[in-house]
Structure 1
Amino acid sequence: MQDAGPRTTHRRRAVGDLTWFLQLKYPPPRFQKPVGVVVLFMLSLLHRTLDRPHLGPGLAWPPAADAWRRARAALVAAATAFALLAAPALAQPPPVEAPPGEYRLDPDRSSLRINLGFAGGLGATSVRFTRLDGDLTHAPGAQERARVKINVDTTSATASAWTRRSALAALEPERWPQASFVSDRISMDGDGAWTMNGRLTLRGVTRPITLHGGIAEPTGAPSADAPRLRFIGRGRIHRSEFGLPAPTLTRDQMELRFDVEFARRRPD
C-alpha cells in the first residue's frame, strides 16, 4: 500500500521512534506582527478543544455541551487577544509633523553599522558604532537649505572580538578619533524617500558619498513642543579610497547602514 501523504506519515512510524515529534509536517507561516501568532495559537487551541476534549474530574469524558462551552471561551480569548494587540496601533494619535528648525541628534537612539563582506560571498560581519552626535537643519519646502552633519566616535566600535580588533587596527582611533559626514544636497520625494549627497571623512581622507533612505517613525515620543525626525538609510564606500587596510579575505566594498534620530532644539 502506498503512503497516504504527509498528513498520515507520522502514524506509520514506530512507537519507539520519538524523533518525529521534532519534525513539522509543514513549514510554519511567518508573521510581521505577533497578532497572527496569537490568533493562530488560539485557533489551534479551539481545534484541540473540539477534536480532543480532555478528561474531566473522575476520569470521565465531559458532555458535548461542556466541549462547546470551552470552544466558545477559546474563541472569545482569541478575539480578545487580537483586540488587545491591534488596539495600540489603531489608537495611536496621528504623527506630529516636524516643523522647520534646528534639530539635535539623539545619541541614545542613533547608531551606525558597517557591514564587511568576505571575498567570494562567503558571508559577512559587521561593526556597530554607538556614540554619535550631530545637527540637522530641517527646511521642508526649501530643500536647498536643509543640512545634516554627523560625527562618529570611532572608539565606540562594538563587534565580536576578532572583528573589533581588526576594525580598530584599521581605523586607528588614537590618530583619527572621529569620522564625519556633511551633506551638500538633500533631495526628497513625496513618499518620504530621500537621497543625500555629501562628503564622508574617514582616517583624515574626504570623499564624496551618496546615501539613500527614508523617514521612519521616531522611537522617542514626539510631541507638539518637542517634535522628532528619524532617518534610516544606507550607502557604499570602498575602503581603498580611504586608505583602510583590508583584513584577510574581506572585500574592498563596505556598506554603511545608519539609523539616526533628531529632536528639535528647544528655544533658549
Structure 2
Amino acid sequence: MINSLKTFTCGAALFGLASMSGVASAETYQLDPGHTSVVASWSHFGYSHPVATFDGVTGTLVFDKDEPEEASVKVSIPIKTIDSGVPALNKEFQNKTYFDVGHYPDATFVSDKVVATGDKTYDVHGKLTMKGHTEPVTLKVTMNGQGEHPMAKVPAIGFDATTTIQRSKFGIDKYVPNVSDDVEIRITTEGAASK
C-alpha cells in the first residue's frame, strides 16, 4: 500500500525551483502548503482502493503563460505526514519496509521539461526521488486559474495534476502484486507570488 508513495505526490509535491532565464514576464510562485493536497491511491487485493494523503508540501513554480514550456517546478513532500486514516498502517508506512522516514524523510520532484498539450493543459516531465531512488515521472497538469488572488491581492496560480508510479521502482514492493505496484497520485495546489 505504501506504494502509494503518494508522494507523491504529487502533489504536487508534488517543488523549490529553478529560475527561467531570459523570460521577463515569468513569475515565481511559492506553493501554499495550506492549499496543497497530495493523495495516493492503490488497489488492495482488487477489493478496494485505499488512499493516503501527505501534508506540509512546499515548493516553487516559475511560470510564464506566454512561454509555458519554459516553466519549472520543484517540490518537497514530507513523508512522515502520511495519513491513511489507519494509525497502525501509518506507522507501518514509516518503517524501513516501506518509506523508511528515519533515513529518507522527504520525497522530491524536480521538473526538467514542460510540454503544452492544450490551452491550459501540460505534460510536466521530471524526476521523482523517494527512499533514495530517482525515477522519471510525467505529471498530467491542468491549470485551474491564474491572476490576482482576491484575498491576498498578489499574483496567484492554481493547478491539478495526476500521475501513476510503480512503487517497486522506489524500493517499496511489499505485497506486490496483491497490493498493486501501480500507485495513482493526485495533486492540487495553489501558489502565490511574493508581495
Q: Identify whether the pair has TM-score above 0.5, normalized to the shorter chain.
A: yes
Question: How much has 1:132 moved relative to structure 2?
Answer: 0.6
Q: Distance in 1 between matches of 2:79 and 2:116?
A: 29
- The count of corresponding residues between Structure 1 and Structure 2 is 166
For 1:255, give the aligned amino acid: E
Identify the match of residue 102 of structure 2 among 166, 174, 197: 174
Matches within 5 A, 1:209-248: 209-217=137-145, 221-222=149-150, 225-247=153-175
Q: Is the 8 A contact 1:115 1:254 kept in 2?
A: yes
Alignment check: 8 A CA contact 1:101 1:139 kept: yes
Q: Is the 8 A contact 2:69 2:116 kept in 1?
A: no
2:128 to 200, 219, 223: 200
Give CA deviations for 1:50-92 in whole Å, capped at 9, x if unaligned.
Answer: xxxxxxxxxxxxxxxxxxxxxxxxxxxxxxxxxxxxxxxxxxx
The amino acid of 1:139's aligned partner reads D
CA 1:247–1:126 in structure 2 vs 1: closer, same or farther (change >3 Å)?
farther
Distance in 2 separating the partners of 1:265 and 1:102: 8
Structure ranking higher on relative contact order (CA contacts 8 Å, 6+ apart):
2
Change (3 A) 1:260 1:244: same
Q: Show structure 2 runs of 5+ residues with no match.
A: 1-24
C-alpha separation between the residues in 2 aligned to 1:143 and 1:191? Answer: 10
Query: Within 5 A, what are the aligned runs for 1:133-152?
Result: 133-152=58-77
The equivalences for 1:114-129 within 5 A come to 114-119=40-45, 121-129=46-54
CA contact under 8 A between 1:137 and 1:146: conserved in structure 2?
A: yes
Local SS of the residue matching 2:102: coil
Q: Of the candidates 109, 133, 156, which is equivalent to residue 81 of structure 2?
A: 156
CA contact (8 A) 1:239 1:246 kept: no
Q: Hey, which of these two has a bigger chunk of strand by percent?
A: 2
Q: For residue 101 of structure 1, report the CA deviation from its aligned partner.
A: 1.1
CA contact (8 A) 1:246 1:252 kept: no
Percentage of pairs with the same residue:
26
2:180 counterpart SS class = strand
Q: How big is the shift at 1:192?
A: 1.1
The RMSD of aligned alpha carbons is 2.2
Contact (CA 8 Å) 1:152, 1:180: kept in 2 or not?
yes
- Structure 1 gaps of 5+ residues are 1-98
Q: Higher mean Cα deviation, 138-147 or 256-265?
A: 138-147
SS in 2 for 1:251: coil
